[in-house]
């Protein structure tokens, strides 16, 4: 079955390992018969700043509306900036979105964060009643392919940077899962600049093998939004909490919490953000 894959690439150098990973993904997925679209953000000179340019002058706004509210009005009126329209059209077409980037200051490069700010807007990607497993992008898949500057041992509970799973939680749950995407386990290339050529070639081979089978993978596990109740039926996103009944139903043991974000004062679940369920 032919699928469409969007690769959002956030590295400025064509000789980087990130770019090598991008090329391997394009070549492998294309070789499997899939359609591949690439948004090379640096090559596109993509503007990461969500600002007034995202709301055209024809849009009716009020003095006290937030910029995000004005952006919502602009989207409804088909008044969105042209570069954002282009990226949102790519998202619509995609069955899988791969985000290729280096880890900067324990997070996303600014240009990629801005891509999310400007494209994952309301009501295109979510509404106040459609989020997490009910998000507007449900039915699509997404994953991160990340390179790090430090070695793998640095991103453990004993390493100086701490558990990589904790670092990934706000990115994979708070961004990808929030808009309804099924999140696949990330592909993490640890410290490729300090690995010999043979080691880098092995990583690229592992990445190619994963691309061959990517549509057969099981996604990461997140709590269903149905397990939370809201005190505000008119605006469900406000005041939502896990019910005691849901906790009893979901709790598999007394030692670990439900997720990284819903640890309930217990030990964090192991590898929940790095291993397919």
- Report CA torsion sign: 214, 217, 220, 221: positive
Position 168 scores a pLDDT of: 97
In a domain, 99, yes or no: yes
Q: How far apart are CA 237 and CA 101, in angstroms?
A: 30
212-264, pLDDT tens digit by residue?
A: 999 999 999 999 999 998 877 777 667 788 988 888 888 877 789 999 999 98
Digit-coded pLDDT (tens) for 33-58: 999 999 999 999 999 999 866 765 55
Secondary-structure breakdown of the chain: helix, strand, coil percentages, each rounded to the nearest 5: 40, 15, 45
Q: Which of 193, 211, 68, 194 is nearest to 145 (CA)?
A: 211
| Tokens representing residue 157 in the block | 């509970």
Domain that holds residue 111: 4-221
Which residues face 6 on adjacent strands? 37, 97
Mean pLDDT, residues 2-8? 97
256 assigned to some structural domain: no
250 inside domain:
no
Q: How far apart are CA 12 and CA 101, in angstroms?
A: 10
Angle, helices 110-119/82-93, rounded to nearest 10 degrees: 80
Task: Identify the CATH number of the domain in which residue 178 sits.
Answer: 3.40.50.360
Q: What is the pLDDT of residues 176-221, one digit of tens each?
A: 999 999 999 999 999 999 999 999 999 999 999 999 999 999 999 9
Q: Is residue 100 in some structural domain?
A: yes
Residue 192 lies in a domain: yes
Q: Which residues of 206-224 are buried (b: 16+ CB within 10 A; e: fewer)?
A: ebbebbeebbeeebbebbe
User: Is residue 252 in a domain?
Assistant: no
Summarize pLDDT for 78-134 with one digit per residue, the tens.
678 999 999 999 999 999 999 999 999 999 999 999 999 999 999 999 998 899 999
Phi-psi region for residue 102, left (φ > 0), alpha (ψ -120 to 50) or beta?
beta
Q: Summarize pLDDT for 132-182 with one digit per residue, the tens.
A: 999 999 999 999 999 999 999 999 999 999 999 999 999 999 999 999 999
Is position 229 within any domain?
no
Q: Is residue 98 part of a domain?
A: yes
Q: Please count the structural domains in the chain.
A: 1
């Amino acid at each position: 079955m032919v699928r469409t894959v969007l690769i959002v690439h956030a590295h400025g150098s064509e000789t980087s390992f990130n770019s090598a990973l991008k090329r391997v993904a394009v070549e492998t997925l294309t070789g499997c018969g899939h359609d591949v679209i690439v948004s090379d953000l640096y090559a596109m000179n993509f503007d990461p700043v969500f600002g007034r340019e995202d709301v055209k002058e024809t849009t009716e706004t009020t003095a006290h509306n937030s910029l995000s509210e004005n952006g919502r009005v602009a989207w409804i009126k088909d008044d969105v900036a042209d570069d954002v329209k282009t990226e949102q059209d790519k998202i619509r077409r995609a069955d899988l979105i791969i985000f290729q980037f280096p880890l900067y200051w324990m997070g996303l490069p600014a240009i990629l964060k801005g891509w999310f700010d400007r494209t994952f807007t309301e009501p295109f990607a979510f509404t106040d009643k459609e989020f997490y497993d009910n998000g507007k992008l449900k039915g699509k898949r997404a994953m991160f392919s990340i390179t790090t500057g430090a070695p793998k041992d640095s991103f453990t509970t004993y390493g100086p940077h701490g558990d990589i799973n904790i670092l990934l939680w706000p990115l994979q749950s708070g961004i990808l899962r929030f808009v309804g995407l099924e999140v696949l386990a990330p592909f993490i290339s640890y410290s490729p600049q300090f690995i010999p050529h043979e080691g880098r070639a092995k990583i690229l081979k592992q990445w190619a093998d994963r691309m061959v089978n990517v549509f057969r993978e099981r996604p990461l596990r997140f709590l269903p939004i149905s397990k939370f109740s809201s005190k505000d039926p008119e605006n469900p996103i406000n005041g939502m909490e896990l019910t005691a009944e849901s906790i009893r139903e979901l709790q598999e043991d007394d030692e670990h919490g439900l997720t990284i974000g819903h640890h309930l004062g217990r030990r964090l679940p192991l590898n929940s953000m790095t291993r397919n369920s």
